[in-house]
Amino acid sequence: MQVVLAAIAAFVALALGAVQLGSDAIFARAGEPMSLPAHLHSALGAALYRAVARIAPAPYVDAMLARAALESGDLAQAQHYALMLPPSARRDDFLARLAQARGQDSLAQQYFVRAADIEAIDAAVGDLAARDPARAYALETALMERLRVSGTHPDFVAEAYWRMGTLAWQQSKRMLAMRDYRQAVQLSPLSEKYLLAAGFSAYELRDDRAARRDFQRVISVNPASADAYAGAGMVALREGNRAQAVQYAARARECNPHAGSLATLQSLLRE
């Protein structure tokens, strides 16, 4: 019995060693230049994982083989192993990167949304923003919906709403942008970035009451926000309270004399 147990232990140790070596080989590109993994070839890792797959097939084995195939440019093999994975964000992410490697950007974006890959969608939206802002907005909206229904932390959903607002404003859809910024504030009410976006948007839409409220909320969160003081000064000046506007300008200057919104306020004061 002890001999059998010893043989099993030896087999397990050998299998684990093979898995570790295979992982090191597949992740060789990420290794430190002078480390052992950096000197291993990814083909060795793939071969070791294929051997493990014949003995003990498992999703993590298929995932490693899909990664190795994708990195080596063998897209057919990458797809084979990716499709063997159970439905999951990891599977969708592999399929997205596979579509991306084939130049199928629209399909890749759909899979990235399903995978809720925020970083990949951010990159795609950034690329689209200048040449096709409407498509960028639609893609960001799809990501927001996916994050919302999947129960992702509200901060990530709020960030998606903020990006949607920025894209809508870029298309001169100001009421839509205002709605998106308000959604971001509702989800993250203490965020200076979202409150400032809502405040300056409200100012541009001549909703001075809402703008003043947003800027005051920023000041309560961050008493050193030059942008909030400048924004409040812009509202005060438009309402005819020049003395208060000058006071806000002075406070903004103390916080950050190089703030862009302070420059705007100072220009308005000179008119």
The domain made up of 1-115 has a fold known as 1.25.40
Q: What is the pLDDT confidence band of residue 203, given thresholds at 50, 70 and 90?
A: very high
Which pLDDT tens digit goes with each residue over 31-57? Answer: 444 443 443 345 544 455 454 444 444
Which pLDDT tens digit goes with each residue over 219-268? Answer: 999 999 999 999 999 999 999 999 999 999 999 999 999 999 999 999 99
- Structure tokens belonging to residue 78: 């990458």
- 142 near 113, Cβ under 8 Å? yes
High-pLDDT (> 90) share of the chain, %: 65
The pLDDT, as a whole number, for residue 142 is 96
Q: Where are the domains of the chain?
A: 1-115
| Total-model pTM | 0.76
Q: What is the pLDDT confidence band of residue 124, given thresholds at 50, 70 and 90?
A: very high
CA neighbor of 27 nearest in space, from 44, 2, 9, 3:
44
The pLDDT, as a whole number, for residue 65 is 77
CA neighbor of 215 nearest in space, from 197, 228, 233:
228
